[in-house]
A = this chain, B = another copy of it.
């Protein structure tokens, strides 16, 4: 089960742009060709292609060219990487909340005893 994961730096860098986030939202509803994806944007095709290539390099999008048409599909492994990072942060915070609760409970027990 060898899988390629793009480095987290690239995964997050890809999301730091409104055009790329909009492309991912569109691809969330299903595959699309580059021309379909480019249509809503007031942007020259070479500039738009830079965004697609960055999304591809960062592991968010897979592309496949058949004849002259390049079709893009979302790659959910990068989504899982972001989700995993968030879950790890949440665990840290919840651990901290638990430690605080234990401390408060222990202090209250000690106070009752004294």
Q: Interface of A with B (CB < 8 Å)?
A: 8-10, 12-13, 15-18, 21, 24-25, 28-30, 76, 79, 82-83, 85-86, 88-89, 92-93, 95-96
Q: Is the CB of A92 within 8 A of B17?
A: no
Chain B residues near A96 (CB-CB < 8 A)? 28-30
Residue in B10, B13, B24, B95 whose beta carbon sits within 8 Å of that of A89 in the complex: B24
Nearest B-chain residue to A26, judged by Cβ: B92
Nearest B-chain residue to A18, judged by Cβ: B9
Q: Give the oligomeric copy count.
A: 2
Q: Is the CB of A12 within 8 A of B16?
A: yes
Q: Is the CB of A28 within 8 A of B92?
A: yes
- For the complex, what is the distance from the CA of A88 to the CA of B13, rounded to whole Å? 19
Chain B residues near A89 (CB-CB < 8 A)? 24-25, 28, 79
Residue in B13, B24, B25, B86 whose beta carbon sits within 8 Å of that of A16 in the complex: B13
- For the complex, what is the distance from the CA of A79 to the CA of B29, rounded to whole Å? 25
